[in-house]
Chain A
Amino acid sequence: MLLAASLHFASCSKDTQSGPTAVTGEWHLTSVTGLDLATADVDVYVVFGDDTFELYQKLGKGRHYRFSGTYTVSGTSLDGVYSDGTPWGGSYTFSVGENGNMLTMVSVNAAGYEETCTYARETVPDEVKSEAVVLKSSASGAPVPFL
C-alpha cells in the first residue's frame, strides 16, 4: 500500500520537497478525501518542530483539544507517536508543494482505503492555542480533561 502511495507522489510537481525541514512549521487542514470540513465542523492545526509535534483539533462542537508527541521522517514517510504512547492512526506519505506552502499527507489503511489530507502553511491563531485543552488519563483509565 505504501508503495502505491509513493508511486502516486512520484508524479508530483518538481517543487516537491521532503525531509524534516520541509514539514517543519505550522499547518492548517484544508481538505480531506470525502469529507466536507464545514459540514463536519472540523478544524485542525498541526505544528511540526524538529522532531516534536503539536496538534490542535476541533472535531464538531466544542473547543480545540491539544495533543503532542514526537515524529520521524524517513524519505517521504511520516510517522509519529503521541505523548501518551499511542501511535498515530496511520503512516503517511507526504509531500510539500506550492513553494513550501502546501503539505499533502496520504495514508492507506488496512482495508485499502486511501485518504489524502492537505494543509496550508498557516500560523495557529493565538485564540486556538489559548483555548485548547489537553486530554490525560485518570487513574481509572477514563479520559479526564484539564486545562
Chain B
Amino acid sequence: MNRFFWTVPVLAALAAVAGCSKQELVPAEGSGTGEPLPEAVAAKAVNAIAGADRTSLLLYFDDEVLESIAAGQVTKTASSKEGPVSGVEDIDRILKETGAVSFRRVIPYVPGKEEAKRKYGLHRWYEVTFPENADLASAAEKFAMAADVEHIQFNTKMSKSWSGKPSPFVPDTRADVSGLPFNDPMLSAQWHYHNVGDTYVSLYSREGADINVKDAWRLAGGDPRIVVAVVDEGVKYLHPDLEANMWINEDETPDNGKDDDGNTSDGGNAYVDDVYGYNFVSHGPITWDKEGDTGHGTHVAGTIAAVNGNGIGVCGVAGGNGEDKGVRIMSCQIYDGDAGGTVSCTAEAFTYAADNGASVLQCSFGYPAYIDIPSDSRYEESALIEVQALKYFLDNAQCPAFSGGKGGLAIFAAGNDGASRSAYPAAYHECISVTSIGPDYLPAVYTNYGPGSNIAAPGGDISIGNESRAGVLSTIPDEVDASGSSYAWLEGTSMACPHVSGVAALGLSYALKLNREMTRDEFTSMLLTSVNDLEYYLNGTKDYSSSSLQLSSYRKQMGTGLVDTWKLLMQIEGTPCIMAEVGTKKKLDLDMYFGGSSRNLSYTGYKIEKDDRDALGLAEDPELRNGYLYLVCTKAGSAKITVNAIAGGTQAGGGDITGGIPVSKEVSIIARGVRSDNGGWL
C-alpha cells in the first residue's frame, strides 16, 4: 500500500512526556549517545532533540538583547573570517566555542512587515548552524546557559514517510463520460472531480464520490488574484499543464543574484531571485528533480490549478474556465531532494506566503499521529516557531475576498497512519484537517480520522482500484518517473488536501466575482458545511485482500462530510430561507445551512433576538435536537436565528483539547401557512 503523506519523525521522547509541564520535558536521550540532556537545556527547550536536524539549533532571544544583535549584524559580517557573530559578547563566545558556521535571523527583516512580525515574536528567532557530526546537545547546553536565550527549539526535521514512485498515467480507452466542460483528455479519468460510478476506476466505485465540481465550473474557474502557496517539494513551474497558472513575482529579475523586487524600502522582499516562489532549503533555485524528489509538490499543485481547457493532460479544481486563467500557484519549497523539511524552513515559508500575496496555505505534511501530541496547547508549546508563523499567516495574509483584504486559510492533510485522530498541525483548531476517501465513498484504508479532523475529500484508495486508477490523477515532473510521464496517480491525505485547497480557492474566486466580501470565519463556516453525507455509507466492513475496515469506527469521525464545490458556491451566493408552517410544530432540516450531514453534527446552541422571536410569534423557545430545528410559529413573518455547531468531532479544539472548528450560521426562516416537505413554495 502506498501512503503518500509526509511525516515528521518527531521526538520520540515527546510521546513519553506529552501532557507534562515544561520542566518535565526532559528528552530521554541527548545527542543520540544515550546520555540525558543537561538540566539547563531541559529548562529552556520547548521540544526534544530526537528527530531534529543535527546541524542546526533555533534560539529565541530575550527581547532586550535584539537591538544589540541587530547592531552587531550591521557592523560585523556574519560570515567573517572569525566565524559568525551576533554582536552580543556572550553569544559570540559560544558561537566560537561550538564551531558554529552561521548565525542568522530565521524570518528575514523586511521593513514594511517588521512591526507585524514583532507581535508574534518572530523577530526573536535565530538559527545557528554547525558542521556535520556536531555535538548538538553540548551546543544546546552552552546556549541554554546564556541569560539572553529565552527558549531553544530543536529544528525538527520533516521527512517523507513513503518514498515510492508515482504510477504513471497510461493512455487507454474509457467509456464516455458525457457533459465534461473541458477538452483536457485525461479529465474523464479524474473520477475525484466527477465520479460516474463505473468500473473503469474500481469495481466498487460509487457515483457522486467526488468533489462535485463539474457544474461549479460553469460558474467559476478560478481567479488569478487568489494565490495558493504549495508548501511542499518544489513545483515544476515549467510543466506545460501548470506554467500558465504559476504565480510570478513580476518585480523580481530571475537569476541575477539580487533581491530586486520593490516590496520594501531597500528594494527587496529579503529573498533573491524568488520568481515563482522560493527554495527555503537551499536558498537557491526551486528544484524538483534531485535524488529523493518524488513529484509530490507538482502533483499537489496540479490538483489545485492544472490549466483547464488547454487540450492537454488533466484539469485542476481552480485551473481556469478554458479562456481565463485560474488561481495561481506559489511554490514554497521546504523539501529539496533528501534535504529540508525543518520547522525553520516551514516557518519561513508561512511568513513568505503571507507577505507575498498567498490566500491559502496548502500543506500536505505533518507529524505522524502515533507521536502523541495530545492537545492544541502541547502543540503550541512544542512547535513554537511554527505556530507563531502559522498564526502570522492566518492573520496577515491578504486574501482579497476577505473583509478588509485580511487573513488567510491553512489547509493540512490529516495524515496517513490510519490512526483514530488527526495528525498535527492539521488537528490544530486554527487549521483545516482533511481526511481521505476512495472512489467507493468510503474512508481510504490509510486515512487518519477522529478528533481534529474537519472535512473529507477524495485522496484515492489504490488498493481497491482497477490498476492504479483509484488514485488521484495529476501532474508530475517527467524527471521523477522512469517512463518519463508527466502525469501520474498517487494516493494519500496528501492528495485529498489539495482538493479542499482547490475548492476553497474556487470559492474565494467566486466571491470576488460576485463582490461578496466575508470574514475568514464566515468563509470557513461555509467551506466546512458545503458537504455531502458520508454517514449513510458507514455500515459493515470495507474489505481488502488482507484486512478490512470496520466502517462504524469512522462514524462522525471523518469531519463534517465530503466536500462539495457546488454547495460552496451556492452558499457564497446566499443560502435560501427555510420555511416553517404557522401554528404547527415542525422539525426543520438544516442541510441547506450545515451540509448533507447536518444531522450528525454537534450543535452547541443558538441565538435569536427578541425582534426576530416576535416576528415569528414564537410562544416557546426553539429546540435543536438530532440536527433538526423545532419551532412553533404563531404568525407569519421572517426572522433569523444564529445556530452554532462544531465542524468535526463533538467539542471545539484549543487548550487541552484536540477538537473541531466552531462554525456559526445565520439561518433565515419564513413562517407562512403552507410548507411542502421539499422546500417548494406551493
Residues on A lying within 8 angstroms of B by beta carbon are 29, 32-36, 39-42, 44, 46, 53, 55, 57-63, 65, 67, 80, 82, 84, 86-90, 92, 107-115, 133, 135, 138-147
Contacts and interface: CB of A to CB of B under 8 A. Distances in A.
Given A63-B573, A109-B581, A109-B583, A89 B636 contact: no
30 contacts: A33-B672, A39-B638, A42-B670, A44-B681, A58-B576, A59-B576, A59-B577, A60-B668, A61-B574, A67-B678, A82-B678, A82-B680, A86-B676, A86-B678, A87-B676, A88-B676, A90-B674, A109-B582, A113-B673, A115-B582, A115-B636, A115-B672, A138-B532, A138-B596, A140-B532, A142-B536, A144-B208, A144-B564, A144-B566, A144-B567
B682 interface: yes
Q: Which 3 A-B pairs have the closest CB atoms?
A: A61-B574, A111-B583, A115-B673
A116 B495 CA distance: 54
Contacts of B665: none
A89 B675 contact: yes
Contacts of A33: 636, 672-673
Given A63-B574, A147-B218, 15 more contacts: A35-B670, A44-B681, A62-B570, A62-B575, A62-B576, A65-B679, A80-B682, A86-B676, A90-B673, A90-B674, A109-B582, A111-B584, A115-B673, A139-B207, A144-B532
A111 B675 CA distance: 13
Nearest to B599: A142
Contacts of B266: none
A32 B672 contact: yes
B380 to A, nearest CB: 37
B206 interface: yes
A46 B682 contact: yes
A115 B577 CA distance: 19
Contacts of A60: 574-577, 668, 670
A143 B676 CA distance: 15
Interface in B627-682: 635-638, 668, 670, 672-682
Contact of A107 (B575, B668, B673, B677): B673
B678 A84 contact: yes
Contacts of B675: 89
Given A62-B573, A139-B207, A146-B566, A86 B674 contact: no
B162 interface: no
Contacts of B678: 67, 82, 84, 86, 135
B680 A61 contact: no
Nearest to A116: B673
Nearest to A42: B670
Most buried by A among B533, B636, B682: B682
Contacts of B208: 138-139, 144
Contacts of B577: 40-42, 59-60
Contacts of A138: 208, 532, 596
Contact of B682 (A32, A89, A141): A89
A142 B576 contact: no
Contacts of B537: 140
Contacts of B579: 59
A90 B682 CA distance: 7
A109 to B, nearest CB: 5
Contacts of A92: 682
Interface in B516-547: 532-533, 536-537
Given A32-B672, A55-B681, A86-B678, A113 B583 contact: yes
Nearest to A115: B673
B670 to A, nearest CB: 5
B574 A34 contact: no
Interface residues of B, number: 45
B207 A142 contact: no
B591 interface: yes
A138 B536 CA distance: 11
Contact of A35 (B218, B636, B679): B636
B215 interface: yes
Interface in B31-47: none
B666 to A, nearest CB: 10
A81 to B, nearest CB: 10
A40 B576 CA distance: 11
A32 B579 CA distance: 14
A79 B48 CA distance: 73
B325 to A, nearest CB: 23
B422 interface: no
Interface in B549-605: 564, 566-567, 570, 573-577, 579, 581-584, 591-592, 596-597
Contacts of A89: 581, 674-677, 680, 682
Interface string B167-210: 00000000000000000000000000000000000000011100
Given A34-B635, A110-B584, A138-B532, A59 B596 contact: no
B294 interface: no
Most buried by A among B206, B579, B636: B636
A88 to B, nearest CB: 5
A1 to B, nearest CB: 11
Contact of B673 (A58, A82, A108, A144): A108
Contacts of B676: 82, 86-89
B212 interface: yes
B378 to A, nearest CB: 37
Nearest to B572: A62
Most buried by B among A44, A46, A84, A142: A142
Nearest to B574: A61
A142 B596 contact: yes
Contacts of A142: 532-533, 536, 591, 596-597
A145 B676 CA distance: 18
A140 B596 contact: yes
B456 to A, nearest CB: 13
A33 B575 CA distance: 24
A35 B671 CA distance: 8
Nearest to B584: A111
B633 to A, nearest CB: 9
Interface in B449-506: none
A67 B680 contact: yes
